[in-house]
Amino acid sequence: MDMVEQLIREIETFGEKLEGSVASPAQPHLFNVNEDAEKLGEVKSVTFHTVTQMLLYVTKRSRPDLETLISFLITRISKSDVDDGKKLKRGVNFC
């Protein structure tokens, strides 16, 4: 599987509609964590984990520009919240 196929698979797995384009994979508030944010539900949490792992693979193989975003999101897998989901969505949209 080449990287284009991997990215297409990742976007399909993400399952949300992506609109517009973004100039960078993350915004300046990437490392800010809102402790009061709503936690992701079971299904979204599994999707978050899956897509984050897929992006990690892509980052290591061909997209080092995603490394900062992914290194943060990996630390949030067990406690992902709605804000983390938005950060992941932006990263997927950047791809």
Helices within the chain (DSSP H only): 3-14, 42-61, 67-75, 82-94
| 54, 6 Cβ separation under 8 angstroms | yes
pLDDT in tens, 54-81: 899 889 988 899 999 999 999 999 999 9
Which of 7-21, 31-45, 65-79 is predicted with the least confidence, judged by mean pLDDT? Answer: 7-21
Task: With a cut of 70, say whether residue 32 has pLDDT above it.
Answer: yes
Task: With a cut of 70, say whether residue 27 has pLDDT above it.
Answer: yes
